[in-house]
Structure 1
Amino acid sequence: MPFNHNDHYHRLLLRHLPKTCRTALDVGCGTGRFARRLAGRGIDVHAVDPSAKALAHARAGAGETADGSPPPRFEHADVTRLQLPAGHYEFISCLASLHHMPFETVTALRKALAPGGVLVVLGCYPEKSAADWAWSLAAVPVNAVARLAVAVAEGRRPPGAGPVQAPIAPPEVPLSRIRRDAAALLPGCRIRRLLFWRYLLVFRADGRPSGG
């Protein structure tokens, strides 16, 4: 199994949870690992994904939350076709899923945020610029070490215990355009480049500049 870059950043994303968060939407939840982490904090989680296979795996593990916490509500759907409730969610997450849909989808997600709510995007981008390639080269040796550590751990698993993987697609929109479009559609958001071919976007629905 390759090193899972999205799982690596779970704790970083959780730092942006509002302190009294009660409702969350996980867009492109895949096999549900991050949705279960949210539910384990006592949050009412609505998790959406267009892949029936990934959701079947997510539902199979839906009981893996903290003691007494209700599991996420998994829905097989394309979020771009859903009528999301306005001003409802206090936290919305997109883990390596936004590049599967038009970037303008963030407008609907912004409208679905409750006052003071937070949208976090762990996004993917293709290498286009010199800076992109420099970060990519820096990530390669770190990624190799992480992959080796995971391979050792996987070698201890019983046969047939490998995880199901959600469908993937290569990103096409360069980070420069993502920054430009985000500035127009999510005023006050902050974007920073991360290792492992990812970026972090944080938007707060209270007009204050986003941290991170």
Structure 2
Amino acid sequence: MKFYRHVLIAVAALSVIFSGYVARSELKVMVRDRDEVTAFLSALQSSPKFEDAMSHASYVRQMTHCDDLMSSVSGVLMGPEALSNIAHGCLERAQQVLRSTPTMSLAHLVKADAQYINGDNELAIAALQVSQQTAPAEGWLATRRIRLAIKLGPDDLGASAVSDARLMVQDRVYRPYLARYFVATPEVQNWVIGAVSEINGRDLRLFYDLIKDQSLGGAAL
């Protein structure tokens, strides 16, 4: 009996230690400095390291941070070495996340971001298509995916990019983002017009009204 008691005590102690480790990791994710300039200055020396957090909320926070960093103008300003290091660290973390949550659309998007930065466009397109397939009705993710699709060339993404564009036009929250992308990137305007041409009249009219307003007032990605 004493032996089993000692075993139970040991297991309980390990459980407490593990719980404490997890709690610290989660807390660090929540309070981690997310300033872009700081992140890129650090990336001039090495790839970013991420806390080994395990909650879905922490995964979302880390992956959102990565997507924002790899899409930021700061990456262009800080130079290719810093951006490459960011991509390396974020790709590594995305792969870790996907091992435990293989259908997490945001992590597939981060993979696509990193592979685009690395010059692996075919892999980036494949990852972006998986991101769309795993969350086809999430407007906030569609908005992030279209941002990368424009860089890759939306024609190469086929139906997945068309679906995201249509989803954005039909949602009053995300419609302005597509209008902004439209105005800022003339080279994709014909593609956008074709992609959304079958949307019902009211949504399409509101979309073109936004384009007119932003063309007059100026817009930036």
State the structure with bigger RCO (CA 8 A, min sep 6), 1 or 2: 1
Q: Flag whether TM exceeds 0.5 (same fold).
A: no
TM-score (norm 2): 0.29
Larger-gyration structure (1/2)? 2
Larger strand proportion of the pair: 1
TM score, norm. by length of structure 1: 0.30
